[in-house]
Amino acid sequence: MLFHFARSAAAPKPTEIRRKPLAPAECPALTSRHSSYPEPFKSRMGDREKRRLGDPFGLTQFGVNLVRLAQGAQSALRHWHTQEDEFVYVLEGRIALVTDAGEVEIAAGQCIGYPGGDKNAHHFVNRGGETAVYLEVGSRLAGDNAFYPDDDLMWVETETGTKPAHKDGRFYE
Amino acid sequence: MLFHFARSAAAPKPTEIRRKPLAPAECPALTSRHSSYPEPFKSRMGDREKRRLGDPFGLTQFGVNLVRLAQGAQSALRHWHTQEDEFVYVLEGRIALVTDAGEVEIAAGQCIGYPGGDKNAHHFVNRGGETAVYLEVGSRLAGDNAFYPDDDLMWVETETGTKPAHKDGRFYE
Mutate to test the interface with B, among A89, A97, A133 (most CBs of B within 10 A): A89
| Per-state percent for chain A, helix, strand, coil, to nearest 5 | 10, 40, 50
Q: Are B122 and B99 in contact (CB under 8 A)?
A: yes
Nearest to B120, CA basis, from A18, A80, A28, A100: A18
B2 vs A121, which has greater pLDDT? Answer: A121
Q: Is the pTM of this model over 0.90?
A: yes
The reply to whether residue B112 touches residue A22, judged by beta carbons under 8 angstroms, is yes
**What residues in A contact B17, CB-CB < 8 Å?**
115, 118
What does the pLDDT average to over B35-54? 96
Where is average pLDDT lowest: A3-12, A13-22, A131-140, B126-135? A3-12
Closest alpha carbon to B13 in B68, B54, B49: B54
Which residues have CB under 8 Å from A164's CB, separation 6+? A36, A37, A38, A153, A154, A155, A156, A171, A172
pLDDT value of residue B6: 38
What pLDDT does residue A14 have? 62
Cβ separation of B115 and A13 shorter than 8 Å? Answer: yes
Position A3 confidence tier, pLDDT thresholds 50, 70, 90? very low
pLDDT-derived band at B173 (thresholds 50, 70, 90) equals confident
Evaluate if residue A12 carries a pLDDT over 90.
no
The Cα–Cα gap between B4 and B164 comes to 11
pLDDT tens-digit map of B61-98:
999 999 999 999 999 999 999 999 999 999 999 999 99
Convert the pLDDT of each residue in B94-112 to its tens digit: 999 999 999 999 999 999 9
Q: Is the pLDDT of residue A117 over 50?
A: yes
Q: Using CB atoms, pick whichever of A17, A106, A135 lies closest to residue B21.
A: A106
Instruction: Pick the residue of B8, B18, B62, B123 with the most A CBs within 10 A to test the interface with A by mutation.
Output: B62
Tell me the chain A residues in contact with residue B87 when contact means C-beta distances shorter than 8 Å: 53-54, 57, 59, 62, 64, 137
Distance CA B148, CA B122 (A): 9
Quick check: B67 and B136 in contact, CB under 8 A?
yes
> CA angle B2-B52-A115, nearest 5°?
100
pLDDT in tens, A43-93: 999 999 999 999 999 999 999 999 999 999 999 999 999 999 999 999 999
Are residues A165 and A156 in contact, defined by beta-carbon separation less than 8 angstroms?
yes
Q: Is residue B115 within 8 Å of A58, Cβ to Cβ?
A: yes
Q: What is the pLDDT of residues A118-157, one digit of tens each?
A: 999 999 999 998 999 999 999 999 889 999 999 999 999 9
Q: State how far the alpha carbon of A1 is from the alpha carbons of A168, B17, B37, B105, in Å.
A: 21, 20, 38, 34
At residue A9, does pLDDT exceed 50?
A: no
Q: B17 and A115: CB-CB below 8 Å?
A: yes
Which of A83, A13, A85, A95 has its CA nearest to residue A54?
A13
pLDDT at residue A5 greater than cutoff 90: no
Distance spanning both ends of chain A, measured CA to CA: 20
pLDDT at position A16 is: 83
Q: How far is CA B30 from CA A42, B7, B36, B43, B85, in A?
A: 42, 15, 12, 14, 22
Contact A53 B111 (CB under 8 A): yes
Contact A135 B97 (CB under 8 A): no
Residue B133 near residue B91, CB atoms below 8 Å: yes
Position B3 confidence tier, pLDDT thresholds 50, 70, 90: very low
Test mutation, A2, A20, A59, A61, chain B, max B CBs within 10 A: A61
Q: What is the mean pLDDT of residues B148-160?
A: 95
Write b or e for each residue in B139-151: b if 16 or more Cβ atoms lie within 10 A of its Cβ, otherwise e.
bbbeebbbbbeeb
8 Å CB contact of A19 and B99? yes
